[in-house]
Structure 1
Amino acid sequence: MIHVYIGPTLAPTEPALRTWQLRVRPPARHGDLDDPAIERGHTVVLIDGVYHQAPALRHKEILAAMSGGVRVIGAASIGALRAAELRGHGMLGSGRIYHAYVSGALTGDDEVAVGQAPDGDLDAQTWPLVNLRHILRAAERERILTGRTAALLLQALTEIPYQQRTEPAVRAVCRRIAGSELLLWMRAHRLRDPHWGDVKRADALGALALAQARAPLSVPLGGQLIPVSTGYTRAWANRRAIQEIGGRTLPTTARLAYQQIFDPEFPQVWGRWLEHLAGQDGAVPLGRRLAYLLDDHPDPAAPAAYLVFRPVPDLRDPATTAFLISRETAADRDAVARYAAANTAMRDQVRGFSPEAIADGVASRTLARLWRTGTDPIEDAAAARGFRNAADAVDHMKNFLAGFLADTAERIV
C-alpha cells in the first residue's frame, strides 16, 4: 500500500492518483504517521504538509516510521524539505526541488510554502516562490527578460511573505518591474499547458512514479536503520492509542490518567511497573540502579525511585496497557466516557469553554484533596502516580474536572 499526503500540489482529480495502490490523504501534520493503517512494508509519499496553521510533521516521526519498516519518499513541498534533511537517515528524495535543497541552491522553507483557505479548501491561494524562480529562468533563456531584470523581479517577489504572494500581487510586481510583455508571455504558455511552470507538480508526479516502481528501502549512511523511541515519540503515539470496549471507543491515555488520579492504590501499581522495567534489560534491581545513580552512597534521605525514573509508557503495547490499568473497573470506564461527555456538554452550554481554560489552581487544589497532600505541593504525589510532573497531572485533571464536579455535586445532593 502507498499512502500519499497531498494538498495544494496535486488536485484530488489528478489521474495519477486514481489507482487502487494509492491511499490519498490530506496534507500531513504532526501524528499522522502513527496511523495504524501504515504497516511494515508500506510506502509513504510525503508531498504536502501543514506547518503554519497546525503542528508540522516532525523528523523523529519519520525516523520512527522508517525504523518500523516503512519506506518514506519526499518531494515537491515539505516532503522535499524533510527528505533533504533526512537523506542520511534513510528517507528517499525525488525531483528538482529536493536536489536543490540538497545542493544548497534552495534554503528557505518559504520557497515551497503556499497559503490555503481557512475553511479546509486544499487549493493554493498563493504562488510558491520555487515555481516563480523556474518561470523567471525560462523567461531569461527565451530573452523575454534580461538577467538584471530577472534578478530584480526575483528579489521583489522574495520580499513578499508567502501568505501574501497571491496572483494579483505577483502580476502587480511583474508589471511594475518588467512591463506587460512578461505577463503576456506567461499567459500564452499557460493557455497551451495549464501546468506550465509548475515544478512542484512535476516533482510530485515523479515521486508517485518512484513509489510505484517499488525501489528498495533506503539505508542510512551509518549502514542500518536505528529504531527511534523516546519519551516524546511515545507521548505522541499515545495520543492516538484507543480501544473499543463495550461498543464504545475510549482513548487509552484517558483511561490511564483516570487510574493515576482516582485510584488510591495506583502508586503501588506504578512502583511495580518501574521494577518491571528495571528487569527488562539485565535484571538489575531498581534499588541498585538508584544507588548507582547516587554514587552508591547510602543516604536515608535519598529520593524515591519514582522521583528519579519517570519513563513514558508505550500505550500501543497491549501488555503495557494491561499492566498499568489492571485495576480498572467497568465503573471506571463509564466515568471516563461520562466525563468526556460532560466536557462536550459544557462546550455547548458555555461559550468559549474548554478544559484547557480551567485555572491551574482549581485543578491543583482538587488533586491535593483527592491525594490528601494537605498543604504540601502535589509534585511528589504526581510523580508517585507516574506523571512527568505536577503540571502534567494538572493538565490531565482538567479533562475530568467538569464531570467530576458534577458527580460530586450529585452525591452531595
Structure 2
Amino acid sequence: MTIRKGDTAVIIDGVYHQAPALRHKEILAAMGRGVRVIGAASIGALRAAELAPFGMLGVGSVFTAYARGDIDGDDEVAVGQAPDGEWAALSWPLVNLRHVVQLAQLAGLLDGERASALLADLRAVYYPQRTTGAVHAVCRRRGEHEFAGWLAEQRERDPGFGDVKRADALAAVRTALDGWTPRAEARLAPGTWESPYFWQWSNAFACSRIDGRTLFTRDRLLYQQVCGPTFPQTWMAYLTCRSLLPPGGGCGRPLEERLAEITGDLAAHQVFHPTLDLRDETAVSLLLADETREDQQAVARYADALTAARRSRPGFSTAAVRDDLTLRMLLEAWRCPEDRLDEEASARGLVCAARAAQAAKRMVPGFLAEQKEAAHSVR
C-alpha cells in the first residue's frame, strides 16, 4: 500500500538491534511528501520527540517524558521478542516498570527511596532479559515481596495493567481517526532539513507500477542516462526548464543568461548540477520523455539481475562491483574514447566519469547477464 499526500501515518513500534531502526530521514521523506506523521508509545514516541520541530506530532506520556528530558535512553521502550516472527513482548520496557512503581508508591507499598533503588536494579537488567520472572527475582533480592505480590495480583486481574505503551498507542490511533491536521507554524520550513541525505533517501523510494510490477524511478532514470541515445538533449531541456521554473516557485531566468554571468567557456551541463527531486512528476516526465516500453522492460530485467546477484552471493554489494566492469559498460554504451568519459557523463547529468561509474554499478549484473545471453545466442 502506498502512503500518499494527505494520509496520516501512526508510528508506534519497530524492530531494531538485529535490523536498522526506523530512520529519521525516512520519516522526513514521508512528511516531505505531505504525509501527516504521529508518533507514540515506543520508537514512535522517541522519533516524535526528536522530529517535533519538523512537524511530527507526539502523543502520550512516553512522548512527553522524552520531550521533557525525563527519559532519554532507547532501552526505556525496548522489549525482547521471539525470533520466529511472533510480535508479543517477552520482556518489560522500563517505561512500564516506571509506571507500576509510581502506582505502587501511590498505593503506599513503596516510599521514594525504595522505589528509586528498585527501579535502578530493574534498569540494570539487559532489556531482552527483563522478563516477568527477572522482575520478580529482582524484587525478591531487594526484599520487596509485597510489591511483587501486588504486581502479580494486578496483572492477573488485568494483563494490560501498567502498560503505558499500549495506552499511548491507542491514544495515537484515536488522534489520527479524529482527523488531526498539523498547524503550518508548527513545523520548520523544508529548506532547513532537506539535505542531500534527505534527497538521497527520498529518491530511493520513488517508484511507479508498470505492467504489474514496481519500477524505481531512479533505476529508470539511470537507464536513460547510461543507455538513452538522446539523453544529453533531454538533460539540456531539463536544465533549461528548471532555470525558467525553479523548484519552490523562485524567480526564473533563461539558462543562457545565468550561464553568461558565470562563464562563457563551459557548457551548461558542466556548470549546473541541480539536485533531482524524483517526487516531482513534472521533472520526471521531462527526464523520461524518451523512455520506451522496451526501456522499461530492460529496467525490469536489470533489477531482476541485481536481485539475483544479491541472493546468489551472500554479502554482495554494488559498491564492491569492479570499476573496470563499470567502465567497460559505460564505454560500450556511450561509444566514446576513454578520455571523453567525463564530458559524456556531464552531458548526461552524471557530473563526471567517477560519479557515473559509482551510480552505474547497480546496472553491471544486468549488463553481464545480457552479454552472457548474447554470447550464448551467437553460439
Q: TM-score range by the shorter chain?
A: 0.7 to 0.9
Answer yes or no: is 1:36 the counterpart of 2:13. no
Q: Partner of 1:112 in structure 2?
A: 77
Higher helix share: 2
Structure 1 distance, partners of 2:51, 2:307, is 41
Q: Partner of 2:275 in structure 1?
A: 312
| Maintained 8 Å contact 2:26/2:202 | no
Q: Partner of 2:114 in structure 1?
A: 149
1:2-401 pair list within 5 angstroms: 36-40=2-6, 42-59=7-24, 61-62=26-27, 65-66=30-31, 70-221=35-186, 231-281=196-246, 282-290=251-259, 292=261, 296=262, 298=263, 300=265, 304-346=267-309, 350-352=312-314, 354=316, 356=318, 358-370=320-332, 371=334, 376=339, 381-387=344-350, 393-401=356-364
Bigger shift: 327-336 or 165-174?
165-174
Q: CA deviation at 1:65?
A: 4.6
Structure 2 distance, partners of 1:344, 1:127, is 39
> What whole-Å deviation, never above 9, does each CA across 1:115-163 have from its counterpart, x for those lacking one?
3344433222332111111122223333433433322222233334434
Q: CA deviation at 1:278?
A: 1.0
> What whole-Å deviation, never above 9, does each CA across 1:238-271 have from its counterpart, x for those lacking one?
3333334445443222221111112243233222
Structure 2 distance, partners of 1:51, 1:328, is 40
Answer yes or no: is 1:411 the counterpart of 2:377. no
Q: CA deviation at 1:339?
A: 2.5
| Maintained 8 Å contact 1:242/1:249 | yes
Provide closer, same or farther for how the CA distance between residues 243 and 160 of structure 1 changes in structure 2, counting only shifts above 3 A. same
RMSD over aligned CA atoms reads: 3.4
Q: CA deviation at 1:187?
A: 0.7
Q: Which amino acid aligns with 1:283?
A: G
Secondary structure, aligned partner of 1:36: coil
| Maintained 8 Å contact 1:127/1:167 | yes
Provide closer, same or farther for how the CA distance between residues 408 and 304 of structure 1 changes in structure 2, counting only shifts above 3 A. same
**TM-score, L = length of structure 1:** 0.75
Give aligned pairs, total: 370
Structure 1 distance, partners of 2:353, 2:15, is 32
Structure 1 distance, partners of 2:94, 2:364, is 48
Provide closer, same or farther for how the CA distance between residues 169 and 390 of structure 1 changes in structure 2, counting only shifts above 3 A. farther
| Maintained 8 Å contact 2:310/2:317 | no
> What whole-Å deviation, never above 9, does each CA across 1:58-91 have from its counterpart, x for those lacking one?
4455456556654433221122223333434443
Secondary structure, aligned partner of 2:45: helix
Provide closer, same or farther for how the CA distance between residues 44 and 329 of structure 1 changes in structure 2, counting only shifts above 3 A. closer
**TM-score, L = length of structure 2:** 0.81
